[in-house]
A and B are shown apart, each in its own frame.
Chain A
Amino acid sequence: MELRQAVDHELGGATPVHGGTEVVPLLRAGILQTDSLIDIRRVIPRGISGDRIGGGATLAELECDPQVPAALREACRLAASPQLRNMGSLAGNLLQETRCWYWRLKWPCRMHGGDECFAQDGEHREHAIFANDFCASAHPSDVAAALLALDAVLHTNRRTLPIAELYRVPSEDDRTTTTLAEGELLLEIEVPPCEGSVYLKAMDRKRWAFPLVGVAAARSGGATRIALAGVAPIPWLLQGSLDEATPLPLNAYKVDLARALVKRAEAAVTPG
């Protein structure tokens, strides 16, 4: 294996690595295979300038920066562990893989090219309650839910897109969860101003756990946008009602949790 330093945005087919908190464990588990790594830390912007946040900013930097909207700050503060927040970048966090235990243990599931979702008829208490008919994995990013509620805009080396367009529900024909192309790098995240935002998280421990349900709410122009973590294979923008959830036998409690947190999040950002 080789490790190169990136000097520009051309990766030459190598696997980009930034904080390494996802790439290194996946490499060592044999889930990710590559002969060539490229360290992109020097070519991804970090720091905050106006409403733009460098994709290379660490979660630790964002969790205590008053320029960062409350929902994003809180999502960073409650994400992962202190060391992972020190190492992990904002862009990398958006691109993390699911925590589905079947997937992490390399069961030959649909997302590994197989023809079955083992969670659906298996142990799925931490899994999805929306869009779970092809793959029941739950997207674990607190930060993504916050940015989705904030209606963030992403700048890559090739295009500009609303964050909602970064994600796609996997299907038989395309088993990926993002629309990022080979060689495309997430450079900056633009967070439009809002009147108020909040992130609420239910987890199994008080710290250092992925969300069972995370709820982000942001108020802008008199309307509230709600996005959820831990409820679908991708960060989930709540457009209809939670009654439309399709929980599995062991995770209906997530609907109750989401209902309670959405109510609180809405109340928190609604003036008066």
Chain B
Amino acid sequence: MARLIRTEKEVEGRYEEVWLVVEEDALQQWPAGAREIVGQPALRVDGSERARGEAIFTADLRLNGMLHTAVLRSPYASAVVKRIDVAPALALPGVHAALGVDEIPQLASECNYEGSAVAAVCADTLAQARTALAAIVVEWEIREPLLDPDEAVRRGQFVDGGDPRLRERGDYEQGLAEADVVVTGEFRTAPVLHNSMETHQAVVQWVGETVEVHISTQYIWGIRDAVASELELPPDKVRVICHYMGGGFGSKNEPDDYTFIAAELAKRTGRPVKCALTRREDNVNAGNRNATIQRLTIGAKADGTLTALGGDFVNAVGWSGWSSSTEGPMQMLYTCPNVKTTTYGAQLNQPPMKAFRAPGFVEGTFGLEALLDQLAAKLDLDPLELRRKNYADHDAADSRPFSGKKLMECYRRAEPHWERREEVRARSTDTIKRGVGMASQIWYGGGGPPSYAWIRVGSDGRATVVTAMQDIGTGTKTAMAQIAAEELGIPLAHVTVSIGDSARGPYGAISAGSSTTPSMGPAVRAAAADAKRQIIEIAAQRYHLEERVLDLKGGQVVSADGNLSTSLAEVVGLLEDAQILGKGARGPNPTGMQVLTFGVQVAEVAVDIETGEVWVDRIAAVHDVGRVINPLGASSQIEGGIIQGVGHTLSEERLHDPRTGRILTTGLDAYKLPTIADVPEIISELVDEPDEHLTNLGSKGLGEPPIIPTAAAIANAIRDATGAEVRRLPITRAEMLRALREQQERAASERPKEKVGAPAGS
């Protein structure tokens, strides 16, 4: 029965209260452990078409009569369009239409960040559109941009006019007073860019009263609703299509200016219109993981028991976006009675941030976990023991029990990697120092309702899962096929998954917040179970057996006594072209429980102490995300997260001109993504035990957890190798050499004391 509930919904660490219609989830979880198909490594169901270059991405669409768009964007971080004339563009060859400021809301005269769109031209070819764009006359009034996040905090200039976010439990000052040791540190993280290989783009065409939006997106339904709302259309007059998309990492959750520009130009010209960002536009305008400044304090007893955690977190958000939960790890990762954090969402004249794979937690974990190792060094405690000592067995922030937490098991499984450190250090030379570091991970990833799936079983005994979700490269499509095949007892090859079209299937969840598999998976299983029930009902009537003795296994309908074993195709074939239709919905999350993911990573590094070069040699990752559907795809997700983490840690940084705020690293020559040569050996392991309280699957998401602890684990390994304390990401040569110099100076200033034989602790 459908049930209306008021519930808390979490995406990327942000909560909102929503009304939801959920259906009871009557299915029991499968017992722990790998099954016939679920839990077994499965090849990507769409791997071949992607590898062969057959998959048609939005970038590859060539609709009849399609026009191409170029967008004029503010070259200034803060400026106002005093006058604009698009007429010269309209006069040029191939041009069909042009838009200037205020013609749609996304083209505004007030430009508060570089890349803010002010005009657009569509033409037969992209080259014509670009030529025409250059003919548009704009008169700018340039303003002084605000670029310093601390200055924004001083001025009280915050995104959404929001106040700083204060979160406090216990008595922080008292906790500090009780501490035997207090460590403090200021940590900085640089803005980093998503750089999905397919840039942000849409092709829009009007078909009668319906607008069709082909878009590279992580959220078909979010695009539908946003476009419908902006264009004042009934939602079902907006059809959103995305069969394949070339990466998003959080930056493609919304439609953005290019979609609305294409929609308006398509309306005016009566043609399909494509609006695609160039790589350089993408790197200015398509979102970023914002910079942070973290001023952190940890107080602890001599035995390592935490007594106080405090932090001021400045998120350099850009002009809009949100102030992500950089304080989250400090609030949630360890049990500590006294915690006080203040988080500022500094509004700056810089391009808006967007979610980027565990926003806030990647940055916050770096600061917290690096400072925790500083504490461990000061107390001469083993960093792993220090973390175990402060283990939280219920949600430290709001006292709720965890639906499932196997972090201690992760620590246990990480021990063999952690125990390598003596051997690793021993391989150091005079100039190359080696060490091992670790860091823990906490994050959301439970998913939630709503999500729906249909399953069609045809007369050939094959099944098609129909749901209007998207696969952004995470392998969700494959996981859904596995779940359906498992429940229906048919081979994986007999399941097709039809996704990617809001007009051709029910609502599917956003591919963000590590939520797709835990949101969609239970709905797919429920739909398969519904279809299975109907097939058994039919077989029972056909073969005059009781339903309770019948089951589906290996593509057969079988009876418990073994007397009946007939192919599924034979039973469903009775219906000829009619089909069995199953439907399923995602049930609610467990009430009163905190659903989170956990993990630990152990990094091994080498540091050249003369040149500051860092090699990440090996990272071992152990994560707890409940039941694993596809261990092969899961290992790829872990590797991908770690590699992005290595990039954030060592080479990636969006740089801007300090005077004008303009972005300088817009090309992939200057913005340095990791190459295959930068990749460490990666050993990944999943605890793979179902979260017994969570849905009919017990599965959580894995998209984000692996990127969270990587930077901190590397920084801690660097400290283990050299004693140097790195305090900013990325750890450039400049930062590494600075930290090494600081360490040498510290060592030099401590050495004379030893000579005069000062007692320890004096």
Q: Is there a contact between chains A and B in the complex with CB atoms less than 8 Å apart?
A: yes
A205 adjacent to B669 (CB under 8 Å): no
- Known contacts: A202-B733, A253-B734. The answer to whether A209 contacts B672 by CB under 8 A is yes
The reply on A161 being an interface residue by CB < 8 A is no
Contacts of B734 in A (CB 8 A): 125, 250-251, 253
Cα A82 to Cα B720 in complex, Å, equals: 35
The reply on A167 being an interface residue by CB < 8 A is no
In the assembled complex, the CB of A151 is this many whole angstroms from the nearest CB of chain B, namely: 26
Cα A122 to Cα B658 in complex, Å, equals: 6
Provide the A198-212 mask, 1 if CB < 8 A to any CB of B, else 0.
000010111111101
Contacts of B658 in A (CB 8 A): 121-123
B611, B658, B666, B672 interface centre (most CB from chain A within 10 Å): B611
A202 adjacent to B611 (CB under 8 Å): yes
- Contact of A206 (CB < 8 Å), options: B612, B657, B677: B677
B732 adjacent to A125 (CB under 8 Å): yes
Provide the A230-272 mask, 1 if CB < 8 A to any CB of B, else 0.
0000000000000000000011010011001101100000000
Q: How large is the interface on B (under 10, 10 to 19, 20 to 34, 35 or more residues)?
A: 20 to 34
A257 adjacent to B733 (CB under 8 Å): yes
Query: Size of chain A's interface in residues, with CB distance under 8 A?
Result: 28
B650, B667, B734, B738 interface centre (most CB from chain A within 10 Å): B734
Q: Which listed segment binds B: A44-52, A56-64, A96-104, A178-186? A: A96-104
The reply on B665 being an interface residue by CB < 8 A is yes
- Known contacts: A101-B664, A204-B651, A261-B611. The answer to whether A123 contacts B677 by CB under 8 A is no
The reply on A27 being an interface residue by CB < 8 A is no
In the assembled complex, the CB of A81 is this many whole angstroms from the nearest CB of chain B, namely: 8
- Contact of B737 (CB < 8 Å), options: A256, A261, A264: A256
- Contact of A204 (CB < 8 Å), options: B657, B672, B677, B738: B672
Contacts of B659 in A (CB 8 A): 121-122
In the complex, residue of chain A having the shortest beta-carbon distance to the beta carbon of B609: A260
The reply on A118 being an interface residue by CB < 8 A is yes
The reply on B546 being an interface residue by CB < 8 A is no
The reply on A7 being an interface residue by CB < 8 A is no
Provide the A215-231 mask, 1 if CB < 8 A to any CB of B, else 0.
00000000000000000
Contacts of B665 in A (CB 8 A): 101
In the assembled complex, the CB of B284 is this many whole angstroms from the nearest CB of chain A, namely: 11
Contacts of B578 in A (CB 8 A): none
- Known contacts: A123-B658, A202-B611, A207-B677. The answer to whether A212 contacts B672 by CB under 8 A is no
Contacts of A204 in B (CB 8 A): 650-651, 672, 732-733
Contacts of A264 in B (CB 8 A): 610
Cα A105 to Cα B75 in complex, Å, equals: 11
In the complex, residue of chain A having the shortest beta-carbon distance to the beta carbon of B740: A256
- Known contacts: A102-B664, A205-B678. The answer to whether A210 contacts B669 by CB under 8 A is yes
The reply on B429 being an interface residue by CB < 8 A is no
A99 adjacent to B669 (CB under 8 Å): yes
In the assembled complex, the CB of B653 is this many whole angstroms from the nearest CB of chain A, namely: 9
Cα A123 to Cα B733 in complex, Å, equals: 16
B677 adjacent to A257 (CB under 8 Å): no
B677 adjacent to A253 (CB under 8 Å): no
A105 adjacent to B611 (CB under 8 Å): no
B664 adjacent to A105 (CB under 8 Å): yes
Interface of A is mostly: loop
Provide the A144-165 mask, 1 if CB < 8 A to any CB of B, else 0.
0000000000000000000000
Provide the A101-117 mask, 1 if CB < 8 A to any CB of B, else 0.
11011000000000000
Interface of B is mostly: loop
Cα A5 to Cα B426 in complex, Å, equals: 61
The reply on B613 being an interface residue by CB < 8 A is yes
The reply on B177 being an interface residue by CB < 8 A is no
Cα A209 to Cα B730 in complex, Å, equals: 16
In the complex, residue of chain A having the shortest beta-carbon distance to the beta carbon of B665: A101
The reply on B674 being an interface residue by CB < 8 A is yes
- Contact of A118 (CB < 8 Å), options: B613, B657, B666, B675: B657
In the assembled complex, the CB of A55 is this many whole angstroms from the nearest CB of chain B, namely: 24
Cα A105 to Cα B655 in complex, Å, equals: 13
Contacts of B664 in A (CB 8 A): 101-102, 105, 123
Tell me the residues in window 604-656 of chain B with beta carbons closer than 8 Å to chain A beta carbons. 610-613, 615, 650-651, 655-656
A260 adjacent to B611 (CB under 8 Å): yes
B669 adjacent to A122 (CB under 8 Å): no
Contacts of A263 in B (CB 8 A): 610
Cα A196 to Cα B713 in complex, Å, equals: 41
In the assembled complex, the CB of B76 is this many whole angstroms from the nearest CB of chain A, namely: 13
Cα A82 to Cα B670 in complex, Å, equals: 17
A205 adjacent to B651 (CB under 8 Å): yes
Tell me the residues in window 126-152 of chain A with beta carbons closer than 8 Å to chain B beta carbons. none
Contacts of A207 in B (CB 8 A): 675-678
A212 adjacent to B675 (CB under 8 Å): no
Contacts of B612 in A (CB 8 A): 253, 256-257
B675 adjacent to A104 (CB under 8 Å): no
In the assembled complex, the CB of B92 is this many whole angstroms from the nearest CB of chain A, namely: 17
- Known contacts: A253-B737, A257-B612, A260-B611. The answer to whether A205 contacts B656 by CB under 8 A is no
B656 adjacent to A123 (CB under 8 Å): yes
In the complex, residue of chain B having the shortest beta-carbon distance to the beta carbon of A260: B610
Contacts of B672 in A (CB 8 A): 204-205, 209
A123 adjacent to B667 (CB under 8 Å): no
Contacts of B613 in A (CB 8 A): 202
- Contact of B657 (CB < 8 Å), options: A104, A122, A202: A122
In the complex, residue of chain B having the shortest beta-carbon distance to the beta carbon of A121: B659
In the complex, residue of chain A having the shortest beta-carbon distance to the beta carbon of B735: A253
Cα A260 to Cα B662 in complex, Å, equals: 34
In the complex, residue of chain A having the shortest beta-carbon distance to the beta carbon of B738: A253
Contacts of A202 in B (CB 8 A): 611, 613, 733
Cα A210 to Cα B670 in complex, Å, equals: 9
Cα A214 to Cα B354 in complex, Å, equals: 37
Provide the B377-404 mask, 1 if CB < 8 A to any CB of A, else 0.
0000000000000000000000000000
A101, A125, A207, A261 interface centre (most CB from chain B within 10 Å): A101
Tell me the residues in window 693-725 of chain B with beta carbons closer than 8 Å to chain A beta carbons. none
Cα A210 to Cα B651 in complex, Å, equals: 13
Cα A154 to Cα B677 in complex, Å, equals: 34
In the complex, residue of chain B having the shortest beta-carbon distance to the beta carbon of A81: B675
Cα A263 to Cα B666 in complex, Å, equals: 35
Told that A118-B657, A125-B732, A125-B734 touch, could you supply 17 new A-B pairs with CB distance under 8 A? A99-B670, A102-B657, A104-B667, A122-B658, A122-B659, A123-B658, A123-B664, A125-B655, A202-B613, A205-B651, A205-B672, A205-B674, A253-B733, A253-B738, A256-B612, A256-B737, A257-B737
Q: Measuring CB to CB, which residues of chain B are less than 8 angstroms from any residue of chain A?
A: 610-613, 615, 650-651, 655-659, 662, 664-667, 669-670, 672, 674-678, 732-734, 737-738
- A-B pairs with lowest CB-CB distance, top 5: A260-B610, A253-B734, A207-B677, A206-B677, A101-B664
29 contacts between A and B (CB under 8 A): A99-B669, A99-B670, A101-B655, A101-B665, A101-B670, A102-B657, A118-B657, A121-B659, A122-B658, A123-B657, A125-B655, A202-B611, A204-B650, A205-B672, A205-B674, A205-B675, A207-B676, A207-B677, A208-B675, A209-B651, A210-B669, A212-B733, A251-B734, A253-B612, A253-B733, A257-B611, A257-B733, A257-B737, A263-B610
Q: Measuring CB to CB, which residues of chain A are less than 8 angstroms from any residue of chain B?
A: 99, 101-102, 104-105, 118, 121-123, 125, 202, 204-210, 212, 250-251, 253, 256-257, 260-261, 263-264
